[in-house]
Structure 1
Amino acid sequence: MTERWVPQTPRDALMMSAMTAVRAFSDAMDRMHGDMRGDMDMNASDLAAMRLLVVREQRGEWVSPHQIAAHLSISTASTTKLLDRLTASGHLERRPHPSDRRARVVVLTDAARAEFYRHFGERMGRMREGMASFTDDELRAIVRFLGEMETALGG
C-alpha cells in the first residue's frame, strides 16, 4: 500500500480510531520509557534489556545473552558491551544455566529489580487505575486486540 488509507465506511472509521489510539498509546509508552531511561541513567538498549529480563523473570523463564541480542536486534559484540556495562553498574549478573552448564544466563540483581519496580511501579499503578472502569469482558477484548496487534507487527 503506497497511498494513504482513507476510511470509507463506519467500520473503517472505527478501525482508524483504534489505530490512532494505538499510536497515541505507543507515543505515551515511548515517553514513559524515555523518562525511565533518565530516571535510571540508562540508554534505550540498557532499559529494553532490563524490561526483557523483568518480563521473562515474571514468566519463570531464563534469558541467554543470545536472546537479548535477538530481542534488541544487536550484534553479539554489542550485546557483550551492554552486558559488561550493566554488570559493572550492578544491574545484572551472568550465571551458569541451571540445567546446561555449557550455557550462561543473565539475571537481574536484587538491587536492579528493586530500582526497576520503584521507577516502574508508580506508572503501572496509574495504568491499573485507568483500567478500573472497564469490565472483565472489555479487558479481555483489549488483551485480545493488543495480542493481535503484536502479531500483525511481527511480535
Structure 2
Amino acid sequence: MHDPRIGDSTGELVDRRGLSDADVEQVVEVMNALRNWHEAAERMSESSRRYMRLNETDMRALRYLIAAHHQKRLVTPGALTDYLGISTASTTKLLDRLEKGGHVRRGPHPSDRRALTVAVTDATRKDARESVGRQHARRFTVAAELTPADRAVVIGFLDALTATEVAEDGEDGATGDR
C-alpha cells in the first residue's frame, strides 16, 4: 500500500488530513523509492548468494568472519553460534558446508588446546571484497555526497521508519527484543 489514495481511499489507516495532493504524491514517491531501494538490495544480496553458492545464514557467517579478520579477532564456533542465533549442530553443518566449499578453514586455538578457531579463506575474502565490497563502496559514496544536514535528515527518517516496526507479539520494534 504505497499509495493510500488507492489502498486506503477512506483514510481508515492513513491519516492524510493537512496534506495537500502534492504532499501525498511526494510521500508516495518516497515510499516507492524505498521499495525500489529494498528490491535493489534484495537483488544484490541474491546475486551475491548465487555467485558464491551460499544461503543467507552462510553469507551472514562470512560477513561476521570477514569483519573479525579485519579486527584481528579470533572466532570460535561457539562465537559464531551465538552471533547467528542457531544451534551448535546447525553451526557444525554450516561450517562443514563452508569448509567443503573452500570458504572457511578451521584450526587450533592458539591459547586454548580444547578450542578451534574459524577463519574465512583469502579467496572468499577477496571474492566478497570484489563483489559486495564494491557495491557497499558505491553506496558509501552516494551517502558521502549528501550534505551533513541532508545525512541527518535521512538518518532521522530511517530511524523513525525503523521504529514503526511492530513485532509479532505486538511490541513496538524500537523497544521489543530482536
Q: Does TM, scored on the shorter chain, surpass 0.5?
A: yes
Counterpart in the other structure of 2:102: 90
User: 2 CA distance for matches of 1:116 and 1:21?
Assistant: 27
Q: Does 1:123 align with 2:135?
A: yes
Would you say how many aligned residue pairs link Structure 1 and Structure 2? 151
Q: Residue 137 and residue 74 in structure 1: after superposition, are their counterparts in 2 closer, same or farther (change >3 A)?
A: same
Counterpart in the other structure of 1:74: 86
User: 1 CA distance for matches of 2:35 and 2:136?
Assistant: 19
Structure 1 unaligned blocks of 5 or more: none
Structure with bigger RCO (C-alpha 8 Å, 6+ apart): 1
> Among the aligned pairs, what percent are the same residue?
36
Q: Residue 94 and residue 124 in structure 1: after superposition, are their counterparts in 2 closer, same or farther (change >3 A)?
A: same
The alpha-carbon deviation at position 36 of structure 1 amounts to 0.4
Q: CA RMSD in A?
A: 3.6
Q: Does 1:42 align with 2:54?
A: yes
Amino acid at match of 1:97: H
- What TM-score do you get using the length of structure 1 for normalisation? 0.70
Counterpart in the other structure of 2:145: 133
Larger radius of gyration: 2
The alpha-carbon deviation at position 47 of structure 1 amounts to 1.2
Structure 2 unaligned blocks of 5 or more: 1-11, 19-23, 164-172
Q: Residue 66 and residue 129 in structure 1: after superposition, are their counterparts in 2 closer, same or farther (change >3 A)?
A: same
Q: Residue 56 and residue 145 in structure 1: after superposition, are their counterparts in 2 closer, same or farther (change >3 A)?
A: farther
